[in-house]
A and B are shown apart, each in its own frame.
Chain A
Amino acid sequence: MAEAVDYRYVGTSPVRPDGVDKVTGRAQFGADQNLPNMLHGRVLRSPHAHARIKRVDLSKALAMDGVRAAVSGADFPAVESGEIGGEGGGDVADIARNVMARDKALYHGHAVAAVAATSVEIAERALEAIEVEYEALPPVLDVLEAMAPDATLLDEQCFTKNLPEKPDKPSNVASVMTLARGDLDAGFEQADVVVEGEYRIPMAHQGYIEPHACTATVNEEGKATVWCCTQGHFEFRAMTSKILKWKISDLKFVASEIGGGFGGKTVVYLEPVAVLLSKHAGRPVKMVMSREEVFRATGPTSGSVCRVKVGAQSNGKITAAKAWLAYEAGAFAGAPVMPGAMSIFAPYEIENFLVEGHDVLVNKPKVAAYRAPGAPQAMHAFEVALDDIARQIGMDPLDLRLANAADEGTQAPYGPKFPAIGFKACIEAAKKHPNYTKPVPEGAGRGVAAGFWFNIGMQSSAEVRINEDGTVIVMEGSPDIGGSRASMGLMAAETLGVPYEQIKTYVGDTESTGFCNVTGGSRTTFATGLAVVQACEDIIAQCKSRAAATWGMDDDQVEWQDGQAIPAPGVNADVKPLSLADVAASAPKTGGPILGRASLNAQGAGASFAVNFGDLKVDPETGAVEVLSFTGIQDAGKAIHPAYVEGQMQGGAAQGLGWALNEEYIYDANGVMENAGFLDYRVPVASDLPMIDTQIVEVPNPSHPYGVRGVGETPIVAPLAVASNAVRDATGVRINDLPLSPPRILAALSGE
């Protein structure tokens, strides 16, 4: 492990640059952009979960007073298949058909047409005047039924990908994938105990509090400006460009503040529609989704069926592990089954394993990325099975995990060897944690589980500008979803050696800063942070050069230390150090404005591991589960802003516990979601939770100058199995499926 380094700014938790605006109501979110002469757009959505669209007639809507534009699938160009975007991307032809249905409506709530009118009320009345002729088809709602050979097909052109030979008939299974190593049969033969189970989890939504919103305006030259809440305005621009077949340079995207995303705002829904309506109407168009639309037509993540078989010796050594995963993609291919398969065994060194994954079409909304996409479902299954192994061999669940833990040099199930990682350090920290060494409270149960996420790098750009007075502007393009501007400012302060307060970080629009991939994959502090550090290093090189010129020295005779240029050791010169403010003040005489920049495709995002445990209590009369305590321990590499790292850990824990205990998409037989609102889709509220204890472990990522690993996604992974394992511990009954809602618990306790 690398030695701890003392930093002046990195590792402190100052107030974020956008903070005051966010506590006073000044901050502009997606729905807060209003323009003169603006129209309001609304979307007509399919009342059927599966139907052929025979005819769409907009004429009566267009004839209404106050209606200025109406569009349906026929108004959009045909889009060729092609991958787009990073996390949350997919086939742009699918995204286009998800934005506006063409020949088929594939889920209840699928967009079929849209109007723009002088008021929201008129727009909504106009939707009722649109005539759509549907031919209803049987909906395919269950993932296993969808896989059956005689299942109704969503897409007659869908032939399962990655089979040894192209199949001769279409299927709802969009693709299969396999990961394998070793000799599975031999591994199971060496096992003293084998646990096998099937674990089902329904669809769940990201549940960001801010509904999707955008305002688009297209001028007479055909140039569009779009304000929207997005995790990646550059990717939104690219998707809109492909979906409308417009040049990228005709589209300017401005990211508003974003009211949560968790992966769900990495893909367009409204933006291409608003641009097209604005073009037709010649006026700005604002579109804001209702909460019901958010549930019915955006997100969610895959419902899943995971079958796991694991064998271990009585000393805890896992000898073989097998997993079969079927994930709901929703209406279009793209379930996160690959990352699920890659993550399920990632925390462990297992010689013999096999994972088979299936990406399955069903008549439900097209899934979007959700915090560690695909990992929570698969890892829930395996972490629950491991808990049963620990019980059978009478081993502490942390010791079981320690006995198999991946470490530096372990070959990950998905290929590469891990560099320095912090999984063992997290387990050791958990074993010593006072919340673990204390006895389980009377009547409660304790659950333990591991969490993991790969993290990603991808492309980022940053510019650093030195103002005339030596204050600093950091300009980058990663929407700030949880305080990342503060982290950028801290890394810039540390690198430049100037106070944090002297630096202001901005998220620029697509025309004022360089390309950045989405804020997703826990990449922002790592990758955009790396760009900020490199841009600061560019500034330092320029400042040294200007100081050298001022002093009549060579560049290599100057050093940068504590925010100022000084002669290098051994250089004998009677000069006063030049601070950043000094260099800025003399900039007109030394070459003009000082501007540093960097752009990169970051490699080496360090994987992030976690250990979580919690004490939960079950009310045997109501089936309600109370979380008495919860502890998250996670390797952050280096916590740039520890309070926001803790915040990620606490927020992820709450989200994971909500998923484990209550959250689910409930469908009727026709494929209509029955709980499309926050009253019935119950996310955790303040009175559901205790304080969430955190411990940040720091095993620096060798690929980042300050050792950063992404931290945002890992925290949601382990809580699902923590809850399952704690309920098992409390009740003596193993419930394989989630959520552990009162009806499910009562049924299990009564032996149903």
Chain B
Amino acid sequence: MSKMHIHTTINGDQVDFLGSPQQSLLDALRDEVGKLGTKEGCGTGDCGACSVIVDGRLVCSCLMLAAEAEGAEITTIEGIADGDGLHPLQEKFLEHAALQCGVCTPGFIVAAKALLDRDPNPDERTIRYWLAGNLCRCTGYDKIVRAVQDAAEQLAHPA
């Protein structure tokens, strides 16, 4: 099957790749672009492990065709850290021990970033409902919610 030439910006870099018409954005990111930080947990949009931000919107990349990303600006987990330092969300996930196995972590951090981009001061309930599309089987969510709260606090009041 002939492939399509798809032009995107990924984490600030211009990235062109060849993708097949039926390929999901998730598969294209992992198999064509080498962004293996985006994970597949279900392939049906239920677990959020493949969360990426496309043109400012949080999406499950397993539910989007690669071809639909033509011209889009995409942020993956590899693009969350700024320069040589970790993003406050990443720091707080580490400090709060908000990951155990860590496979859901990229999706959670991307989803939480999308939340804080639009609501810098979310309450616990807002965080829990925003992250309800991301499954974590290890932590019971307690430390994840606390890490997001703490990161929001740090972003609002940088030390």
Contacts and interface: CB of A to CB of B under 8 A. Distances in A.
Contacts of B102: 18, 22-23, 27, 257, 259
A20 B94 contact: yes
A163 interface: no
Contacts of A644: 97, 100
Nearest to B20: A121
Interface stretch (A384-392, A612-620, A651-659): A651-659
Contacts of B143: 643, 646-647, 650
Given A25-B38, A643-B97, A677 B135 contact: no
B154 interface: no
Contact of A25 (B77, B128, B142): B77
A105 B146 CA distance: 47
Question: What DSSP secondary structure best describes chain A's contact surface?
Answer: loop
Contacts of A689: 128, 140-142
Contact of A677 (B44, B94, B133, B140): B44
Contacts of B97: 13, 16, 483, 641, 643-644, 646-647
Interface stretch (A148-156, A404-412, A680-688): A680-688
Contacts, number: 182
B96 to A, nearest CB: 7
A653 B46 contact: no
A647 B139 CA distance: 5
Contacts of B61: none
A647 B137 contact: no
B44 A679 contact: yes
B135 A23 contact: no
A692 B141 CA distance: 9
Interface in A600-650: 641, 643-644, 646-648, 650
Interface stretch (A130-138, A179-187, A203-211): A203-211
A689 B141 CA distance: 8
B25 interface: no
A687 B128 contact: yes
Nearest to A658: B137
A24 B81 contact: yes
B135 A291 contact: no
Question: What DSSP secondary structure best describes chain B's contact surface?
Answer: loop
Interface stretch (A28-36, A340-348, A538-546): A28-36
A688 B142 CA distance: 11
Nearest to B90: A23
B49 A20 contact: no
B25 to A, nearest CB: 15
A15 B44 contact: no
Interface string A202-232: 0000111111000000000000000000000
A650 B96 contact: no
A290 interface: yes
A25 B36 contact: yes
Nearest to B100: A482
Contact of B40 (A15, A20, A27, A211): A211
The size bracket of the interface on A is: 35 or more
Among A22, A211, A647, A686: residue with most chain B CB under 10 A: A686
Contacts of B22: 121
Contacts of A258: 101, 103
Contacts of A210: 39, 41, 101, 103
A259 B78 contact: no
Contact of A678 (B36, B46, B80): B46
Given A25-B76, A686-B144, A689-B140, A678 B44 contact: yes
B135 A685 contact: yes
A288 B90 CA distance: 28
Interface in B55-97: 76-78, 80-81, 86, 89-90, 93-97
Interface string B118-146: 00000011011101111111111111111
A16 B96 CA distance: 11
B42 interface: yes
Given A31-B40, A686-B134, A643 B86 contact: no
A691 interface: yes
Interface string A697-741: 000000000000000000000000000000000000000000000
A567 interface: no
A647 B105 CA distance: 15
20 contacts: A19-B94, A23-B109, A24-B78, A25-B37, A26-B37, A209-B39, A209-B47, A259-B41, A260-B100, A288-B40, A291-B44, A291-B47, A482-B138, A647-B143, A648-B100, A650-B143, A651-B138, A655-B140, A678-B41, A686-B144
Given A25-B36, A262-B137, A483-B97, 14 more contacts: A18-B102, A209-B41, A209-B104, A259-B39, A260-B138, A641-B97, A647-B97, A647-B140, A647-B143, A651-B139, A684-B141, A685-B131, A686-B134, A689-B128
Closest 3 CB pairs of A and B: A25-B37, A259-B103, A654-B140
